[in-house]
Amino acid sequence: MNYSNPKFKPFNDEGTAVSISSNMFKQKELMQYALTAFQDHGLNQLGKMIWDEGRGKFPIDKPENYREAWFTDGLDCEILEPSSQGWQKGKVRFKVTLEFYPDEPEMNESGLDALREPSSYQNQ
């Protein structure tokens, strides 16, 4: 799976209309549906996968509203990067984005090309 294709770019405007299989959404609406789905079902699935792999309990069921924090303010954590001298404290969160990759334009005549060429009726 290619998650880092540079051709995909985030939407610039939350009001952008997105049509998928004859369904119309504003980008902001679609993102809200996605966030709600990830907060509910996605975190449950992630927690189950981690538990099933024997990696312990994933923090999603704490009373401090952890589900929302995963996508807003973040959760306290520590990271250890290969180039660092030790553990660094901070916060971690998920960021769900909706990106767009425009199709390449077809290399056929445009409407302007037709206007630039003399019409057949002018040659009569």
For the stretch 46-90, pLDDT in tens is 889 999 999 988 887 765 577 788 888 888 889 999 988 899 999
Q: Say how many Å lie between the first and final Cα of the chain, rounded.
A: 58
Q: Which two tokens stand for residue 84?
A: 């660092």
Residue 8 pLDDT grade (very low, low, confident, very high; cuts 50, 70, 90): confident
Residue 120 has pLDDT above 60, yes or no: no
pTM of the entire structure? 0.63
Give pLDDT, residue 22. 86
